[in-house]
Structure 1
Amino acid sequence: MPNQLTLKDVSIAYGDHVVANRISFSLNVGEIGCLLGPSGCGKTSLLRAIAGFEPIQTGTINLDGKQVSQPNQHLPPEQRRIGMVFQDFALFPHLTVADNIGFGLHKLTRQARTERVETLLNLIGLSEARKQYPHQLSGGQQQRVALARAMAPRPDILLLDEPFSSMDSDLREQLAREVRHLLQQDGITAILVTHDQNEAFAMADQIGVLGNGELHQWGTGYELYHQPADLFVADFIGQGALIPGEIIGPDQIRTELGIVTGQIAADHIQQNTVDLLLRPDDVIHDDDSPLKAQIINRAFRGAVYLYTLKLASGQLIYCLVQSHHQHNIGEKLGIRLEAAHLPVFRRQ
């Protein structure tokens, strides 16, 4: 499948301050990507560079096989066939829903424009609201209209800059899934910028984790969670604890919790003394297990409790337990390990 977007060794700087350092990744046609990271990591600057609003100091950006950016030369934004959805949606308050969606279709015939608007109204489920104005819509409905307006001209790629940031976390995740479905139905390649990992997991096929201007890892949500490339990714994605371990075989690590068996990253095999990342779902509640750990904290998460457990050495680990099993702080909880992947890092 051909690449729709390719960044190779792209750097962006404001004066002497480098905000993105030699970033490389690519997206296939119809794929949804995400730039994920904390504030100030360079993700929005990269999005603006892809759109043509920021120059780059090194590298190249290619769209649909055409080079659009290199140092001291780039194609203007209006010639890049890019759609954008902004944080505030930027809908025109004086235009109806239908007219907002059709705003960028002035080059089409009236019939073609009407058909495209009708198709998108049906796609976003707002046919009945075609004559309403933005202020008459809910936040989620405004989001869908903004998305449809950006999709209307069939851009080569759609850029979404923190489009759900003004909404609560449950609605953000729901809308991310809805937007993914809409983009897939229309076959549009897209890239999302967010600091919310659940939003990224719900929407993206490929996710790039950025920190301090560096791309730490580009991969699926599964790979980022279970096979983090470094400690930054391990810490930023999900929750977990690092425990000391010693590699004693190709798939075995000796720890305070006993010998753990699973897939170890090959490039760490020669280093015997490591820190092993244990996720809460690697630690299984088992009342019959001889292995016990003391509960020092618990957090109710609806279907589950997240328990913070202290081992005999004082080491802390985490465990998810179904919430109908309620245990009190100070109790000893029986546990066992089930970890298919064993992310290991150099001992800190």
Structure 2
Amino acid sequence: MPLPTMTNRFNAKPPARLELRGVDVAYGETTVVSDVDVLLEDGTIGCLLGPSGCGKTTLLRAIAGFEPVTRGSILIRGHRISEPDWTLAPEHRHIGMVFQDFALFPHLSVAGNIGFGLRTFSAPRRQTRVDELLELVGLSEAADIYPHELSGGMQQRVALARAMAPRPDILLLDEPFSSMDAELREQLAREVRALLKREAITAILVTHDQFEAFAIADQIGVLDQGRMRQWGTGFELYHQPADRFIADFIGHGVLLPATVMNSGQLRTELGRVDAPLSATLEAGSEVEVLIRPHDILYDEDSPREATIIARAFRGAEFLYTLRLDSGTEVLCLVPSHHCHEVGERIGFQLQAEHLVVFTKGDAG
């Protein structure tokens, strides 16, 4: 068991690095998080991303100290805060948390909410920190009003400022934008990222929204059925998915059957394409290649055509679902000033980069 005086060693303030080493979390006999490894460096914003029920909130609760681990360990600043049969109490972890419903105190003003966790500060020091955070989140003029008088976005900023006020080692955010529409979620995610970076706070966010994750996080971990499928940047997850699950979950795309022609070329029904291939794949091997919407280029003059079977307006672009003559469906992004109706045929060409190839034996 760690020494009772361990928490005093946090005063040395080494980098606020968060580590999870082979972590399992169980409810009774049911393991809901299994063998998860995470390394989040000081000042980095991480994200746990995945569908509902994948274990991301359970993992966040384990980091906060609300759930014990049944295997592995969790460390902050190199010190173990959770391991089997021993858990450092949440109030001793120096962790801040922003909840889905913000959990603001309705009877306290904005300033009162932000200063709530600073009761051990002297009055002048507390006022200085509250004023500093009010300015940081752009709410200096709202110091004396109450949460119900604020918009959802403003309430979110107050909740964030309250969690940041004691300068926690790690800040945890549990789907803090889930009640807002998609456009506002991304906007607030960018704002929160800027605030966290200005304060150099290490943070980890839970969300099911990949665009929210892309907007806020430096590193993203995709969870599925309690397991970490891939940990990396948004670019890596999109362009270098580790398996079929990641390829399907992140972004849009379809897997087309293909045949290996030689060491660097595939034959597909869209034509021949260059692709990174394993040296173990022999000519004639059957594989699948991931085709993203940006790989299908709209071209009015192309002899190759497909039929539009669905479209989605995205502002600057339409996302068209195209059906090839073979019946295969692909996705294509087209500038929205080219407006075509469902049922029309349009020309296209394959202009593929960052192709990802899966062999028949790949997991997913």
For the criterion TM > 0.5, the same-fold answer is: yes
Tell me how far apart the structure 1 counterparts of residues 195 and 152 of structure 2 sit (CA, whole Å): 17
Which is worse superposed, 203-212 or 297-306?
297-306
* Structure 2 SS opposite 1:95: coil
Per-residue deviation, 1:290: 2.4
| Matching residue of 2:170 | 157
Preserved CA contact (<8 Å) 1:268 1:345:
no
- 1:204–1:268: structure 2 CA closer, same or farther, 3 Å change rule? farther
Distance 1:316 1:28, change over 3 A: same
**Letter aligned with residue 44 of structure 1:** T
CA deviations on 1:58-85 (whole Å, 9 max, x unpaired) are 1110111111111111211111100000
Which of 117, 124, 127 pairs up with 1:104?
A: 117
Q: Is 1:13–2:26 an aligned residue pair? A: yes
- Are positions 1:180 and 2:177 aligned together? no
Matched, 1:144 2:157: yes
Specify the alignment match of 1:299 in structure 2: 312
Matching of residue 131 in structure 1 with residue 149 in structure 2: no
CA contact (8 A) 2:313 2:336 kept: yes
For 2:313 and 2:218, how far apart are their aligned partners in 1?
30
- Cα distance, 1:308 vs. partner? 1.1
CA–CA separation in structure 2 for the residues paired with 1:252 and 1:341: 13
Cα deviation 1:282-340 (Å, max 9, x = unaligned): 11101122222222222222211111111222111010101111223333221112222
Is the 2:297–2:349 contact (alpha carbons within 8 Å) kept by the matching residues of 1? Answer: yes
- The 1-side partners of 2:152 and 2:339 are apart by 38
Cα distance between partner residues in 2 of 1:332 and 1:150? 54
Matched with 2:179 is: 166
- Match of 2:231, as an amino acid? W
Q: Find out whether 1:209 has 2:222 as its counterpart.
A: yes
Aligned: 1:258 with 2:261: no
Residue identity (%) = 61
- The aligned residue for residue 204 of structure 2 is 191
Structure 2 CA distance for partners of 1:59 and 1:266, relative to 1, 3 Å:
farther
Partner of 1:53: 66
1:46 maps to a residue whose letter is L
1:147 aligned partner, one-letter code: L
> Mean Cα displacement is larger for which, 89-98 or 324-333?
324-333
Q: Aligned residue for 1:340?
A: 353
Letter in 2 for 1:57: T
Q: Give the TM-score taking structure 2 as reference length.
A: 0.92
Determine the C-alpha separation between the residues in 2 that align with 1:250 and 1:8.
Answer: 38
1:180/1:291 Cα in 2 relative to 1: closer, same or farther (>3 Å)? same
Structure 1: gaps (5+ residues)? none
Query: Which deviates more from structure 2 when the two are superposed, residues 291-300 or residues 311-320?
Result: 291-300
RMSD between superposed Cα atoms in Å: 1.7
How far apart, CA to CA, are the structure 1 residues paired with 2:274 and 2:340? 28
Preserved contact between residue 263 and residue 279 of structure 2 (Cα < 8 Å): no
What CA distance in whole angstroms lies between the structure 2 residues aligned with 1:82 and 1:100? 17
Aligned to 2:289, the other structure's residue is in SS state strand
